[in-house]
Amino acid sequence: MLIFNDHGLLATQDYPMTLDQLRASLLVTGPKDGSPWDMNKRMTLVNNLEVLVNQLWRVGIVEIFIDGSFVEDKASPGDIDGYFVADVRTLPDIVRELNSIDPFKIWNWKDRIYDRNSAKWQLPMWHRYKVELYPHVGQSSGILDEHGFEQMFPAAFRKTRDTFEPKGIVKIMK
């Protein structure tokens, strides 16, 4: 069962969920305490996530994790962040296949487009779907821990970036 702790985070663990379970969960429907919650925006984000997850499943990727403000007690998250596990040797072929499936060819982590609203350079997939899924092939994430060391994806996605507090993460299941 999903609940937010006093810091607005999920308890530290992996939460396996199907997309339908995600849609029916606290992460979309919101807390029952009457606090403001943008259920429509969250549902749109999950629907966009589903497009990308289905593409990943089609090319054989099954380990997909999401986090970021979407899995926190934030009324209106800007996007869904996450990663998927792939083999570095086959990633170029997987990316080619993903881009052959996606009509907008968004599977690219090099080219970024400036977004005036967020004042950040964002990935093509973010501009189209408001979802950022990065391949984890054993490399570091570029995100520093509380000691200034670069973290691997699994560790980086299981802590807050400002206070480094441990948090839960959702694993998307078929």
Query: What are the residues whose beta carbons fall under 8 Å from the beta carbon of 62, sequence distance 6 or more?
Result: 174
> Per-domain residue ranges for the chain?
14-172
**Cα distance between residue 131 and residue 170, in whole Å:** 14
Q: Which residues of the chain have pLDDT under 50?
A: none
Mean pLDDT of the chain: 95
- Position 32 scores a pLDDT of 83
Per-residue confidence (pLDDT) for residue 35, from 0 to 100: 83
8 A C-beta contact, residue 3 and residue 159? no
pLDDT 10s digits, 108-158: 999 999 999 989 999 999 999 999 999 999 998 889 999 999 998 889 999
pLDDT at 5: 93
d(CA 133, CA 149): 22
Encoded tokens for 16: 């396996």
